[in-house]
Structure 1
Amino acid sequence: MAIRKILIANRGEIACRVIKTAKKMGIATVAVYSDADRDALHVRMADEAVHIGPAPSNQSYIVIDKILDAIRRTGADAVHPGYGFLSENAAFAQALEKEGVAFIGPPVKAIEAMGDKITSKKLAAEAGVSTVPGHMGLIEDAEEAVRISASIGYPVMIKASAGGGGKGMRIAWNDEEAREGFQSSRNEAKSSFGDDRIFIEKFVTQPRHIEIQVLGDQHGNTFYLGERECSIQRRNQKVIEEAPSPFLDEATRKAMGEQAVALAKAVGYFSAGTVEFIVDGERNFYFLEMNTRLQVEHPVTELITGIDLVEQMIRVAAGETLSFGQADVKLNGWAIESRLYAEDPYRSFLPSIGRLTRYRPPKEGNRPDGQGGEVIVRNDTGVFEGGEISMYYDPMIAKLCTWAENRTAAIDAMGRALDDFEVEGIGHNLPFLSAVMHQERFRSGKLTTAYIAEEFPDGFSGISVDEAAGRKLAAIAVFTNQAIQERAVQISGTIGNHRRDVGKDWVVTLAGSEHAVSLERGPAGADAVFADGTRISIGSGWLPGQSHASFRVGDETIGVKIDLISSAIRLRWRGMDVTARVRSPRVAELARLMPVKLPPDTSKMLLCPMPGVITSVAVKAGDRVEAGQTLATVEAMKMENVLKAEKQGVVKHVAAAAGQSLAVDELIMEFE
């Protein structure tokens, strides 16, 4: 059959991604949107758009009847489900089949077999695939979860049977965590998937999360497209992915790929799908689950294989035979993906919402890497400058990808691209992503799913500024300050016949350090000369008012984000975020005499850690609470966050009630 019009039953960056390929193939597209997405990018990009209901996904994007109505109204003859929402819903695929509409995905039986994690593990075991020990039956309540967890042996992973994207997942190390984790997982699973079934399996310590991309057609041809390393995660959701894995050898890659293909064939699978494995330090691998859909991180596979997975999904759904086979799949170069999330890494990666007052991604396409090679920058996104990040959906803003001939070059390209990516108006994880790119452990490929917890045990608080970086930033601060001062002189620097001169001697205070710097102008730029005689050449075309610029500092070129804040200059680079104050020597001398303003005392307050809805308050005024006791629960972007008492105390006042929406740092309760 020829597919003429595709309805994308999804939103955000994946809807935009599908639209791009459909347009390339000459296929018309239909977007669906909720109240919150009326002005979304995917709505603007599609040929047609249909409103499907209120903002909550359980009243719009996952209501099958509303999607079917949109199909009938527009005459779409195929549906791409993206990922999440209805992408692994067998009832939806059946409804489309009944309507005579092509589902751009696998057959219903494969979704039923593999989409349910309990059933999939049983089938995998029957097919001879190595699986993680666990309890595959349904679990009725928290006490049964505790008994099962204890029998398996802690730590255990509590998972939603219909889960995906890290939703409905908890690690428990003892009975109390198993009891609480079961209830939280079930709540999240019901909210996200409308299915609260839970199962438990052994949690493999020091694991790597490596997955195999499979692709098959309706004529029995199935093969694998290499692997993706997805070990860097927070809250069991991937943050940075790459292809291939820096850990696998060719023999392990082949063994994992062949098992993945065997499992796909066992359930009659076609279209794109992913078989996920946990791999230990000895390269033993264990089946986790099969995702019967396109994965978020599919771009890295596309970059190293040159295969457009969305295009192949469309062709398979149309009944075409794949035009290539296993022997034709070649892995070329290395690709990295960084997920840009609307979340605050300084607050344990809690979600952030608001308006994107600035959104300027790096330029996409091919470019020289400065060392005789070539890199590719790709940015899959569903937002635009001025748009809103809603509390109703996943917090992903964009997926920034880089490709190069080898892993080190791909990482370096990612570091530069992140430095060039401007996002303002909301909390976001750009500083964290940038920091990881420059960590020696990451660059050496020593990854596990515990990477973030091990590298940032006390949470992410930014990157400290060492002496070398401090001098580079001080040089940039003096250079930009000089440009600001010279602009001011041009505008209003003449009194009578006298023109005010801009001095060359400055004192820069940043990151707790003070640098005496002289800026010496020359025909080729300038030199920042420090008190000890160190000289750093610096040059840039930056002009006051620009929020980003490339600077030549010594023998390297770096991208720095610049904001002028009153009398200070904010500089962001490589995960460092500093406020530099550039003063004349006399003003600096006086500034040292000024008292330091202390932050307000909030030690007796429970403040809302993220914008969201209070779903429950467990205490009232006058109650005595113990350390670790649950106080309240807040939910946003389908994530439930249980707030607990840090120490013993008495509740003085409760300011929030269940159902109330709060902003970040808004008061929930106060203690005596």
Structure 2
Amino acid sequence: MFKKILIANRGEIACRVIKTAKKLGIATVAVYSDADRDALHVKMADEAVHIGPAPSNQSYIVIEKIIDAIRQTGADAVHPGYGFLSENSKFAEALDKEGVAFVGPPVGAIEAMGDKITSKKLAAEAGVSTVPGHMGLIEDAEEAVRISKSIGYPVMIKASAGGGGKGMRIAWNDAEAREGFQSSKNEAKSSFGDDRIFIEKFVTQPRHIEIQVLGDKHGTVLYLGERECSIQRRNQKVVEEAPSPFLDEATRKAMGEQAVALSKAVGYHSAGTVEFIVDGERNFYFLEMNTRLQVEHPVTELITGIDLVEEMIRVAAGEKLKIGQNDVKLNGWAIESRLYAEDPYRNFLPSIGRLTRYAPPEEGTQDDGSIIRNDTGVFEGGEISMYYDPMIAKLCTWAPTRDKAVEAMSAALDDFEVEGIGHNLPFLSAVMEHPRFQSGHITTAFIAEEWPEGFGGVVPSDQQARTLAAVAAFINHRIQKRAVLISGVLANHPRKVGRDWSVKLNGSGELTVTVKEDGSKTIVGFDDDTSLSITSNWLPGRSHAHFIVGGRRIGVKVQQNGSWLCLRWQGIDVKTYVRAPRTAELARLMPEKLPPDTSKMLLCPMPGVVTIIAVNAGDEVQEGQALATVEAMKMENVLRAERRGIVKRVAVEPGSSLAVDELIMEFE
């Protein structure tokens, strides 16, 4: 077994590998850039080596710098995680020359399967069903248009190297094919150092299902079931689960056997993933093979009980797998929600800054038998940088059934606290509560179909509004009681706590309530003679608490801000005012403050770097025309004109680093 492993990665996957290495008694080495000097993976490792500036193409994907860190520390093995150099055959070759073990597949398998063009050709030769497409290299945008027309729109334009949704675009016409080709090339070069592009038919109404494979150096290759990864946004997975609610046993077996056959054909060992597109008739088509550990590997670990990182390390050390295919059993259901530093209310644009509050739910077995796992690479007080992927954490739940796993995830999301940056917790909660997701009838178009205009928040139902009103009234009652106790100490004539209140939930109207105590319970009554009993451990100052409302236990995020409360529960994010009747009456007379007019300005929607300014002062632009491109967190974002107009002035140049809402250009 190895004595020291260097993790050539950062963030949550580096922390994940360190945990297993420590369990095996193996010393660990972290590498870090300027931006990650105080990162969690650096603190967790036994040693850490600085490898350069923040941009990954000057640090994490520079092979020479990783090799130098190996020489400095004497590491005898390297785990690449995912992304960065994990599927770079030159890196694996460089390690071999150094006499250092690569915790991953052989070079030949990386070259054959890590390259999407080559892997599709090999899969076709092996008799694996593949999606129609053009597997040759594409020279320019005009050739991309010609190929797209010949395949037939819609098409998927994809980077040959890498994954994770980077360098991928769907094109429905010539203009989108031309623009998507260039954007994909730029993203691919920035993320992977390889700008080769290919094009394939985009299968409509598809499900994205992948098979986990695991092989040793002695000829054994197993499949460990499948993962459903259909909840995606911009080709980036958001929610994954194992097993799939769609597959039957016959399809699972057929997909697994094809994945194993393909793996054996290239002499594969270590952990890997064979990805398929599956249509409504359960016909499946090979997409690609990822010759690395996947982001969503925890859900497979939860239903199989197999530590994939441990198996990768043991395989790299030359050990045989101790299990056979018949030993692989799928137990229960697991779901993973990816928590991203992106604002769902601003079209999921990246968000950076300091995590002023980071409090995930407690991991481990819960009272109801479910399990919570949270893989993360951040901590409270840490910084979310603009230079890397915006993932904060991967929250996972396990339960005996899918319904229970979804229920456990919904509760865990409600118990997760993040402050200081924009994040997608409300959106993840909305997915869990969506009837279509709960039914399992999902495709990769789920998010686009259910939120076609973007995510604007969840409007509470009447029952949810009453629940939140009861929580708000309870909190107000506690605050008022505390004020009465303080005034009682300072004066001889303490005031009393009122019973009648008006609760206004922004966007959901106003409810009149009465509040009274009944022993250990607080009773909140409504003007239709119904009521809800409520108990809680909440005290003034607490940012989160559990409430038992009408016999149901819920977790609510509470933010106090002067005269109002912000409550978050089940994806509902609502500003709440609790006022005395007379105050509420006067408040209704107050004029609404209007936001400033920015209709003649193009403002930067996220912190990032301007890469392209597509127009000049004096130009006439049309609705939908590209105006500028901003790169943030390794993704290119094209900003378009919302209406016809004339450019008055351009305020920035390509290469400018901008903050949120910083001016890019003005219109007449």
TM-score range (shorter-chain normalised) is over 0.9
Does the 8 A contact of 2:87 with 2:162 survive in 1? no
Contact 2:156 2:169 in 1 (8 A): yes
For residue 158 of structure 2, give the secondary structure of its aligned residue in structure 1. Answer: strand
Question: What is the SS of the residue equivalent to 2:366?
Answer: strand
SS at 2:214 equivalent:
strand
Question: 1:570-623: CA deviations, max 9, x gaps?
Answer: 111011011111111111111111111111111111111111011121222222
CA shift in 2, pair 1:496/1:79, >3 Å: closer
User: How far is 1:368 from its partner?
Assistant: 2.1
Is 1:649 aligned to 2:649, yes or no?
no
1:216 maps onto 2:212 in alignment: no
Structure 1 residues 566 and 101: CA distance shift in structure 2, 3 A = same
- The yes-or-no answer on 1:577 pairing with 2:576 is no
* Partner of residue 86, structure 1: 85
1:17-43 Cα deviation digits (max 9, x unpaired) = 000000000000000000000000000
User: Which residue number corresponds to residue 520 of structure 1?
Assistant: 516
Task: Give the deviation of 1:346 after TM superposition.
Answer: 1.3
Q: 1:645, CA displacement in angstroms? A: 0.9
Structure 1 stretches of at least 4 aligned residues deviating more than 6 Å after TM superposition: none
Match of 2:557 in 1: 561
Assess if the C-alpha contact under 8 Å between 1:6 and 1:79 holds in 2: yes
Q: Structure 1 residues 478 and 109 mapped into 2: Cα distance closer, same or farther (>3 Å)?
A: same
- CA contact under 8 A between 2:156 and 2:199: conserved in structure 1? yes
Partner SS for 2:64: helix
Amino acid at match of 2:374: N
Shift of 1:492: 2.9
**Matching residue of 1:121:** 120
- Any idea what SS the aligned residue of 2:306 has? coil
Name the SS for the 1:498 alignment partner.
Answer: coil
- Counterpart of 1:364 in structure 2 is 363
On the 8 A contact 1:465/1:511 being kept in 2, the answer is no
- Is 1:477 the counterpart of 2:472 in the alignment? yes
Structure 1 counterpart of 2:587: 591
C-alpha distance in structure 2 between counterparts of 1:647 and 1:584, whole Å = 45
| Greater CA drift, 405-414 or 524-533 | 524-533
> What corresponds to 1:163 in structure 2?
162
In the alignment, structure 1 residue 630 sits paired with structure 2 residue 653: no
Which residue type is aligned with residue 72 of structure 2?
R
**Which residue of the partner structure matches residue 48 of structure 2?**
49
Hey, what's the Cα distance between the residues in 2 that align with 1:150 and 1:572?
47
State the one-letter code of the partner of 2:406: I
Deviation string, structure 1 residues 548-573 (Cα, Å, up to 9, x no partner): 00000002000000011110011110
1:464 matches 2:463: no
2: CA distance, partners of 1:496 / 1:301: 63
CA–CA distance in structure 2, aligned partners of residues 11 and 565 of structure 1: 36
Q: Deviations over 1:133-178 (max 9, x none)?
A: 0001000000000000000000000000003000000000000000
| Counterpart check, 1:665 vs 2:665 | no
Residue pair 1:494, 1:500 contacting (<8 A) in 2 also: no
Contact 2:205 2:279 survives alignment (8 Å): yes
Please say if residues 365 and 377 of structure 1, whose CA atoms lie closer than 8 Å, have aligned partners that are also in contact: yes
> For the Cα contact (< 8 Å) 1:342–1:351, is it kept in 2?
yes
Q: Tell whether 2:414 aligns with 1:419.
A: yes
| CA–CA separation in structure 2 for the residues paired with 1:160 and 1:616 | 20
Q: 1:112 to 1:495 in 2, by over 3 A?
A: closer
AA matched with 1:517: V
The residue number in structure 1 matching 2:150 is: 151
Contact 2:487 2:494 in 1 (8 A): no
In 2: Cα distance, 1:397 partner to 1:338 partner:
11
Partner of 1:62: 61
Once the two structures are superposed, residues 269-312 of structure 1 have per-residue CA deviations (whole angstroms, 9 ceiling, x without a partner) of 00000000000000000000000000000000000000000000
CA distance, structure 2, for counterparts of residue 616 and residue 511 of structure 1: 39
Q: Which residue of 1 aligns with 2:76?
A: 77
Q: Describe the SS at the equivalent of 1:499.
A: coil
SS at match of 1:408: helix
- Give the fraction of aligned pairs with identical amino acids, expressed as a percent: 79
Which residue number in structure 1 is paired with residue 496 of structure 2? 501
Give distance in 2, aligned partners of 1:42 and 1:495. 51
- What is the Cα deviation at residue 534 of structure 1? 0.8
Residues 282-301 of structure 1 mapped to structure 2, 5 A cutoff: 282-301=281-300
Match of 1:106 in 2: 105
Question: How far is 1:425 from its partner?
Answer: 0.5
What residue identity is the alignment partner of 2:175?
Answer: E
Mapping of residues 435-450 of structure 1, within 5 Å: 435-450=430-445
CA distance in 2, matches of 1:483, 1:636: 44
| 1:496 Cα offset (Å) | 4.1
Q: Kindly provide the amino acid, as one letter, of the partner of residue 285 in structure 2.
A: Y
C-alpha contact 1:345 1:432 (8 A) present in aligned 2: yes
Q: CA deviation at 1:399?
A: 0.1
How much does 1:493 deviate?
A: 4.5
Correspondence 1:392 to 2:391? no
Structure 2 residue aligned with 1:408, among 397, 403, 410?
A: 403
1:268 alignment partner, SS class: coil
Equivalent residue for 2:615, pick from 600, 613, 619? 619
Q: Is the 8 A contact 1:209 1:277 kept in 2?
A: yes
Deviations 1:486-536 (A, max 9, x none): 112222355642111111111111134111111110113111011111110
Q: Classify the secondary structure of the residue corresponding to 2:314.
A: helix
Counterpart for residue 345 of structure 2: 346
Q: 3-state SS of the aligned residue for 1:314?
A: helix
**Residue of structure 1 aligned with 2:605, choices 585, 592, 609:** 609
Partner of 2:528: 532
| Aligned-pair CA distance for 1:125 | 0.4
Cα deviation, residue 122, structure 1: 0.3
Q: Distance in 2 between matches of 1:578 and 1:349?
A: 19
Of 482, 485, 489, 2:484 maps to 489
Taking the aligned partners of 1:474 and 1:276, their CA distance within structure 2 comes to 46
Whole-angstrom CA distance in 2 between matches of 1:25 and 1:269? 24
Q: 2: CA distance between counterparts of 1:627 and 1:421?
A: 40
Deviation by residue 1:382-434 (Cα, 9 ceiling, x = unmatched): 00000000000000000000000000000000000000000000111000000
- Deviating more after overlay: 616-625 vs 318-327: 616-625
Give the paired residue count. Answer: 667
Matched AA of 1:426: I
Q: How many angstroms apart in 2 are the aligned matches of 1:491 and 1:58?
A: 59
Tell me, yes or no, if the aligned pair for 2:487 and 2:495 is still in contact at 8 Å: no
State TM-score, norm by structure 1.
0.99
In the alignment, is the contact (CA less than 8 A) between 2:29 and 2:45 conserved in 1?
yes
**Counterpart code for 1:443:** Q
Gaps in structure 2 of 5+ consecutive residues: none
How far apart are residue 184 of structure 1 and its match? 0.3
The structural deviation recorded for 1:65 is: 0.5
Q: Deviations over 1:206-231 (max 9, x none)?
A: 00000000000000011100000000
List per-residue Cα deviations over 1:44-64 (Å, max 9, x = no partner). Answer: 000000000000000000000
Q: Is the Cα–Cα contact under 8 Å of residues 208 and 230 in structure 1 kept in the other structure?
A: yes
Could you tell me which amino acid in structure 2 is paired with residue 173 of structure 1? W
Does the CA-based 8 Å contact 1:186-1:198 persist in structure 2? yes
CA contact (8 A) 1:571 1:577 kept: yes
CA distance in 1, matches of 2:331, 2:577: 47
